[in-house]
Amino acid sequence: MYQLTNVTKTYTRGKGTVHALDGIDLTINDGDRLVIQGPTGGGKSTLLQMLGGLDRPSSGAVVLDGTDLAKLPETRLTRFRSETIGFVFQSFNLIPTLTAQENVETALVPLGVKARERRERAAEALISVGLGERLGHLPSEMSGGQQQRVAIARALVKKPKVLLADEPTGNLDEGMRDEIMEVLEQMWREHRLTFVMVTHDSAMAKRAPRLATIRKGKITVTEKAIA
Ligand SMILES: Nc1ncnc2c1ncn2[C@@H]1O[C@H](COP(=O)(O)OP(=O)(O)OP(=O)(O)O)[C@@H](O)[C@H]1O
């Protein structure tokens, strides 16, 4: 469970100051599916970075299961991140010289998983996202949707508790978008993930049980009656 208390993030640019996050209070329960929306520059990606421990707040607490990510020393934060949190980004961020299977395996290297188990788990993860026939393909030999599936497999192969996605369909055409959204929803259900996603996809936002809107660093959360 996440508990964010009075989280602020301020960037200084020249003489100007940007309050990217301005006093965010937010609770996200285990297994929640939360969609974050809002105008460009509102603070969505900044919030996702705080949730993922990719950056630290200027003030406030980002507590995940009793651990304040804002206060963890860097090495422990890196370890915590690689065990607990899976990330999917708009740009798939695959390593171009590695096959799909090798790309997925990279998530298990920091966890000290042995080579043979890495290969097996990577293959299983790729099969679960429908890419069982593409283990040996390079990113350049796959479509955008397939590359994003590889990225999803890489995020989930370590069996994280939390999945964070920043515009995961932003680089895809309409047909692919729906497919990837379905894969993400299926993974959320099967792995019982806590799933937080920034998206402009209004269909996805409509389906989300909780919708957070961030404007000028401030958050409003709408709860819906049906999931
Ligand atoms: N590293 C940085 N240095 C300076 N300012 C930053 C930095 N990162 C973000 N900002 C500023 O913080 C504010 C929030 O940015 P953020 O990327 O979180 O918005 P967003 O809602 O994700 O926008 P978009 O929909 O365009 O991706 C913006 O004004 C942005 O310019």
Q: Name the pLDDT band for 226 (thresholds 50, 70, 90).
A: low
- b/e sequence 35-74, b meaning 16+ C-beta within 10 Å: bbbbeeebbbbbbbbbbbbbebbeebebbbeeeebbebee
Predicted pLDDT of residue 42: 92
Query: Measuring from each residue's beta carbon to the nearest atom of ligand 1, which residues come in under 6 Å?
Result: 11, 13, 18, 20, 38, 40-46
The residue nearest atom 26 of ligand 1, judged by CA position, is: 40
Task: State yes or no: ipTM above 0.90.
Answer: yes
Which among 4, 57, 9 has a CA at the least distance from the CA of 26? Answer: 4
The residue nearest atom 1 of ligand 1, judged by CA position, is: 11
Which among 124, 152, 126, 125 has a CA at the least distance from the CA of 137? Answer: 126
C-alpha 13 to ligand 1 mean position (Å)? 12
For the chain, the farthest-separated pair of C-alpha atoms sits apart, in whole angstroms, at 54
Domain ranges of the chain: 2-223
- b/e sequence 192-227, b meaning 16+ C-beta within 10 Å: ebbbbbbbebeebbebbebbbbbeebebeeeeeeee
Superfamily of domain covering 2-223: P-loop containing nucleotide triphosphate hydrolases (3.40.50.300)
How do residues 99-154 score in pLDDT, each as one tens digit?
999 999 999 999 999 999 999 999 999 999 999 999 999 999 999 999 999 999 99
Predicted pLDDT of residue 37: 93
The residue nearest atom 2 of ligand 1, judged by CA position, is: 11
Instruction: Give pTM, 2 decimals.
Output: 0.93
C-alpha 41 to ligand 1 mean position (Å)? 5
8, 15, 46, 196: which to mutate for ligand 1, most atoms within 8 A of CB? 46
% of the chain surpassing 70 pLDDT? 99
Predicted pLDDT of residue 190: 92
C-alpha 62 to ligand 1 mean position (Å)? 19
